[in-house]
Amino acid sequence: MKTRILAVSWLLVVGFLLASCGLIGPKPEIVGVTARDGAPGLDYTVWVDCTVRNNGASGDITVVAELSGGGSWEKRETVSVGKNAERKVTLAFPEATFLNTGLNGYQYNCSTG
């Protein structure tokens, strides 16, 4: 009985250490970044499309999109991504204005965080 308790305790400690060191769990990588603009309902908006690939175990990944030019904004969304899978996340920036020469007046980027 003591041996069984010791073995289970040891497995729990090893599992906790692996999880806290990032050795298990998702391993996100941004593999695609695009942006597009439009005016649905006459409200100018820039959408940043971030494609994230998970090179680790299935889990939640937070995708962050940044848009700057005439202002600076950041949006984030947490999504579940399977092992070795990709997922496209679209984040909308209605704060953008067309007066900033449209999409050409903006810089955009995606990351994980």
Please report, in tens digits, the pLDDT of each residue of the chain (113 residues total).
677 776 666 666 665 555 544 468 999 999 999 999 999 888 899 999 999 999 999 999 999 999 999 899 999 999 999 999 999 999 999 999 888 778 999 999 999 99
What's the pLDDT at 21?
44
Domain ranges (residues) in the chain: 27-112
Which of helix, strand or coil describes residue 98?
helix
* pLDDT computed for residue 41 by the predictor: 83
Q: Which long-range contacts (CB under 8 A, 24 or more apart) does 104-109 make?
A: 105/69, 105/70, 106/35, 106/46, 106/67, 106/68, 106/69, 106/70, 107/67, 107/68, 107/69, 108/33, 108/35, 108/46, 108/48, 108/65, 108/66, 108/67, 108/68, 109/33, 109/65, 109/66
Pick the CATH number of 27-112 from 3.30.930.10, 2.60.40.10, 2.60.40.60, 3.40.640.10: 2.60.40.10
pLDDT of residue 98: 84
